[in-house]
Each structure stands twice: as C-alpha cells, then as structure tokens.
Amino acid sequence: MAFVKHEWHLGSYTLDLGYNPEPLKKLGDILDAQVDKTKDPLLAEHIRNMLVKFGFLHFSKLFLMETIKGKQLATHYHLLNFIVLTKAFLDAVANIINHFYQLGFIGSKIDLKLQSFRDKLANFDQDLSNDIFIQKNWIEKVVNMRDEIIHRKSPLIIYYSKADETGKQPKERTVRMPIEPVSLFEWSKDESYLKNKYGKVEQDILPFCEDWIKNSDVLLCATCQRIVNFIEKQSKST
C-alpha cells in the first residue's frame, strides 16, 4: 500500500487505496505547515469528510463487482448506496468551498448545482467556479438521480442474460441497470421513453460507477488545487 501521510485519511477507504493525488498532498503540506493561530481544524474535517465519501464510492464499486453476477437484491442495495454517496460527496465538496471562501450559504443553499452558489464563488475564485461549471451536467444528473430514487422511484435492476446463437441462456446472469430510474408499475411507458431518448433502456453497472468515480476524482483534485493556488496567492500578497 502506498504511504499516505495526512490524518484525514483515517477511517476512509482512501487509505487502503493509497489515494493521495498531488493537489491533495500539496494542500495537506500547506495546512501542516501552518502555525497554530492560522490552523483551521474545521477545514481539515471537511476535507476528511470528502475523502470518506470518495472512498466509499470505491468501496461500493468493490461490492458491486461481486454482486452483479446474478445477485439482484445485493446489487440493488449497493447501487443505491453508490448513487446516494455520490451526492454526499458533492455536498462535502460544496461544504469545503462554502467554508474556505466564506460564502455564507446555509443548509440546502450549499449546493454545487445552484448557479447562485457558483456565481458567488466566482467573486473569490473564478477558476474553481469554472471547474464546477464544466461538470454542471454531470452534477445535475447526480442530484436528479439521487432525488428520484430517494423520493419517487427505485432504480429497478434488470437481470440481463444475452442468449447465444442457439438461443441458450448463460448460466451466469449479469445484473444491469436502466439509464434512468424507472417505475415497475409504468414499465412500458418508461421503456418507450428511454428508447426514444437514448436508443436503449439498459446500461452496464460497472462502467456507470467508473465514470462517476472519475468525475468525482477530477472535482476533488480541482478543488484542492484551486485552494492551494488561492492560499499561495494570498501568501505572496502579504
């Protein structure tokens, strides 16, 4: 396992992963070097919270790699966790930004999806606001999917077994998921909607998770790097 220095990895699966990208490492070095009167323990706790959520995305995927081979109920459970935890990760990033740049938002207003949040951030750090805007479509997708599965629909899991040329089904069935959450009781309508919008109804689960983890990693690194740049700029001006 790669060596990870900073205590904010404790209790996070990022420690097992050896996850310590350069922007995160730089930020840790800067915070470690601060004297007591300039230390910000709440910022460190926000960062640890972000890493815990990010680590759990990998942890959920680890379970899904096992359960997609025919275990429908377990796959459903871990997929729900993955989607909810991705939204929790986004909230953790938003809390870091709100705290560090002292944006002053509270409660549900601390949300990367909101233009009001990004606009106010732009007054302090235009680059980070731009980084978030680049991922705007994905962030909205995460928020909408999480809201849909929490409040309205369950992400119906589909057993998918592709027959061979003789029409025989394989012994090992792979569980797949719909492109968007669908209703079991309005399946025919939702199926037609997905086919018209995407040209297909189902998608593989692991590539879905890998794409969301990749986007989360990009956002995590961008946030850490922009904060590093901001601190260094402030240091030069004093």
* Mean pLDDT of the region 82-99: 97
Is 170 domain-assigned?
A: no
Is 161 domain-assigned?
A: no
Is 184 domain-assigned?
A: no
Annotate 113-171 with DSSP letters as a single string.
T-HHHHHHHHTT-HHHHHHHHHTHHHHHHHHHHHHHHHHT--B--EEE----TTSPPPS
Is 124 domain-assigned?
A: yes
What's residue 103's pLDDT? 96
The number of folded domains in the chain is 1
User: Does pLDDT of 2 surpass 60?
Assistant: no
- Are 202 and 182 within 8 A, CB to CB? no
Provide the residue range defining the domain that includes 229. Answer: 7-152+203-237
Is 164 domain-assigned?
A: no
What's residue 86's pLDDT? 97
Is 169 domain-assigned?
A: no
Is 108 domain-assigned?
A: yes
Q: pTM for the complete prediction?
A: 0.89
Least confident of 5-19, 74-88, 100-114: 5-19
Is 42 domain-assigned?
A: yes
**pLDDT tens column, 185-206:** 777 788 888 888 888 888 889 9
